[in-house]
Amino acid sequence: MPPGLAPAVSEPLPLEEQQTLFDTLQEALMMAETRYQTSLTAKTEEDNPSFKQVDALFEGLQDTLYRLWACKSSFMVQAAEALANGSRNPLWRLPYGQSGVLTFFLQLIASKEDVGTGLLLHALRLIGNSCADTDENRTIVVKGNYISAIIQHLLNPELIQIVIPVIYNICIDFEPAQSQLASSKIVYIFLKLLREDSFKDNENLLDFIYELIELTTEQEQGIELSPDETISLLVDLAAHKNVAHTASRFSCIATCSMAYLDNKRFQDICITKYMVADILSMLSKSLNFDTEWPSTDDIQVLAQVQLRINQTLAEISGAPLFAEYYPLGSDLSRMLRSWLQRTEDQLQICSCVMLGNLARSDETCQAMVRDLNIHRDLISIVTSDARGAVLHAALGFLKNLAIAGDNRLYLGQAGIIPAVSRLWEYETVPQVQFAATSIVRQVIIASFENVSHLLEISPGDEHHGTYLSQLLSLFEKTDSTPIRTEIGRIIASICRTLIPKSHEQNEKADATIKHLFSIHEALPSQ
């Protein structure tokens, strides 16, 4: 804690002297008010009283306040109220800081003495008003480390409605104060108070609180110093609480949650405490705000939140620890599998990425295809009218599954080649066009059956050509070197599969080779 006022040690002053001190203080304030008013209405510089003269009126106030405090004067509350009222005048802010009045009240709120709530209320008012838009006074607060002294009064229900605006006035647009506030574990403190409904009678304070949480979360040291429980409080608030019925507050808490989950310590906590399902709930909940955000700006904010959540989930599911706590048969994986059949883009993308990260071994990949038929849900996505981002995620997952064991055979039987063929013309999203081409090469490797599927007549080809004909046509049209290269590798893979079998006098292979070159006459030149 910063230094507080020393306890009273002197003999009490007679009431008359206390009255005199208070009258002197009031007189100084009235004179200052008169001079400031004159300065505001002065027409010429000669008519304008010197601001140094005005500031001089405040110079003795700090000493007066110390004397009233030392004798525990009954006038202390009145003096604090008068000064707090004066602090509403923007022109009085700098003089309060320069004369030591602000420092006195900072020391007062940090005092270990039993200070009455009324006196603390006016002290906090003065501090908050003096620091509004006044970096010089904010610097006094920060240098003395008085933010921690202010925060302690959040525990007093009678002061909470004034403490929040005071903190806000000190911190808004002033990074040093935000940094000190973050180091004071304010996010954890606010979240605890929110969970305990400490602001149910002060609804108007919530916007201040959420903005302060967002500001301090941007301070890295605040995240580093936060207790482990902070992440569970954030996620619970975003996923399960009705964050005061507003989408903007939800957005704030969701974004802050993701900022904490950029930190490995909190990622590990999230996994080991089985909190990942709550983050999935957070993503699902974010979709409910779509119809409540009428403006384009609001919709963009929501989209950014969803993107951030999905990026975080991708990183979490990519951690080695994830598969240990959320194996293929877990409730979480079942939820993700059900999301493959949903129509919401973000849920489908999330499912493809997270299940794809879970498919890290041949055994898991084969179980996904052989036992769970996940590839069929993915092929349904590929043949749907899903957006490019969803198609790209599904194709990436399918390509991953195609690597293991005999999964290529299952994918071929499920119609992977006809499914992706329509995407070879998907020029609006080149990444999708490339992925749809690349997966063909993956599924035909050493697979006579899938090569045969590739050489089947395509119902969608107006010239009654094969699926390979479509790829060869794409080869001629595209300017994409990666796609042209991939098609070349597909042709090479076909030859590597068929020619050895032909040398073994395999009749089917011989027939397929003849079919290949008779239908695709331009193939040798390509």
Classify residue 100 as left (phi > 0), alpha (psi -120 to 50) or beta.
left
Q: Which region among 261-265, 267-271, 475-479 has the lowest average model confidence (pLDDT)?
A: 475-479
> pLDDT value at position 134?
94
Residue 417 φ then ψ, to 5°: -70, -50
Residues constituting the chain: 526
**Whole-number mean pLDDT of the chain?**
88
Report in angstroms the alpha-carbon separations of 428 from 432, 433, 452, 478. Answer: 9, 9, 29, 12
| Confidence check: pLDDT of 173 > 90 | yes
Averaged pLDDT, 240-250? 74
Which of 50-64, 211-225, 232-246, 406-420 shows the lowest per-residue confidence on average (mean pLDDT)? 50-64
Which pLDDT belongs to residue 345?
94
Per-residue pLDDT, 518: 64
Side chain identity at residue 67, one-letter code = R
The answer to whether 223 and 179 are in contact (CB under 8 A) is: no
**Residues 69-125 pLDDT 10s:** 988 888 999 999 999 999 998 888 999 999 999 999 999 999 988 889 999 999 999
Contact 103, 145 (CB under 8 A): no
Tokens matching residue 134: 């006044």
Q: Cα 404 vs. chain centroid, distance in angstroms?
A: 36
* pLDDT at position 113: 84
116: tokens are 């009455």
> In percent, how much of the chain has pLDDT > 90?
63
User: Check: CATH 1.25.10.10 for 1-32+57-184?
Assistant: yes
Statement: residue 47 has pLDDT above 60: no
Q: What integer pLDDT is reported at residue 524 of this predicted model?
A: 52
pLDDT exceeds cutoff 90 at 190: yes
Q: What is the mean pLDDT of residues 371-400?
A: 96
pLDDT of 49: 46
- Whether the pLDDT of residue 34 is over 70: the answer is yes
* Tokens 């209320």 sit on residue: 121
Q: How far apart are CA 277 and CA 313, in angstroms?
A: 10
Closest CA to 166 of 151, 145, 187, 182: 151
Predicted local distance difference test score (pLDDT) of residue 48: 46
Rounded Cα distance, 470 and 488, in Å: 13
Q: Report the half-sphere exposure of 43 (CA within 13 A, side-chain side).
A: 0
Q: Is the pLDDT of residue 42 over 80?
A: no
Q: Which of 50, 57, 56, 68 is nearest to 10 (CA)?
A: 68
- Give the residue-averaged pLDDT of 293-305: 75
Question: How confident is the model at residue 432, as a pLDDT?
Answer: 95
Whether 357 shows a pLDDT value over 80: the answer reads: yes
Buried b or exposed e, range 499-515, using 16+ CB within 10 angstroms: eebbeeeeeebeebbee
Beta bridge partners of 466: 457
pLDDT at 50: 46
The proportion of the chain whose per-residue pLDDT surpasses 70, expressed as a percent, equals 88
Non-local CB neighbours of 303 within 8 Å, separated by 6+ positions: none
Distance CA 109, CA 462 (A): 83
Coil, strand or helix at 59: coil
C-beta of residue 197 within 8 angstroms of C-beta of residue 223: no
Q: What's the confidence (pLDDT) of residue 305?
A: 93
Kindly provide the residue ranges of all beta strands, DSSP E only, lying in 295-395, ordered along the sequence: none
DSSP 255-320: HHHHHHTTSHHHHHHHHHTT-HHHHHHHHHHHGGGGGG--SHHHHHHHHHHHHHHHHHHHHHHTSH
Alpha helix positions (H), 132-226? 135-143, 147-151, 160-171, 175-183, 186-195, 206-217, 220-225
Residue 114 confidence (pLDDT): 84
DSSP state of 13: P
Mean pLDDT of 350-376: 95
Angle (deg, nearest 10), helices 247-260 and 296-317? 30
pLDDT over threshold 90, residue 196: no
* pLDDT at 169 > cutoff 60: yes
Taking alpha carbons only, the member of 226, 144, 151, 154 closest to residue 194 is 154
Alpha-carbon Rg for the chain, nearest whole angstrom, is 35
- The predicted-structure confidence for 197-239, as pLDDT tens digits, reads as follows 888 777 788 989 999 999 999 988 889 999 999 999 999 998 8
The answer to whether 443 touches 480, Cβ cutoff 8 Å, is: no
List, as own/partner pairs, every contact residues 15-23 make where C-beta atoms lie below 8 angstroms and the sequence separation is at least 24, other chains included.
18/68, 18/71, 18/73, 18/74, 18/75, 19/75, 21/64, 21/67, 21/68, 21/73, 21/75, 22/68, 22/73, 22/75, 22/78, 22/79
For residues 359-376, b (16+ Cβ closer than 10 Å) or e, as one string? beeeebbbbbbeebebbe
Map out the domains of the chain as residue ranges.
1-32+57-184
Give the per-residue pLDDT at 498: 78
Nearest to 217 by CA among 243, 186, 250, 240: 186
Instruction: Give the span between the Cα atoms of 514 and 301, in whole angstroms.
Output: 58
296, pLDDT greater than 80: no
Range in 86-95, 381-390, 456-465 the model is least confident about: 456-465
Q: What is the pLDDT of residue 112?
A: 87
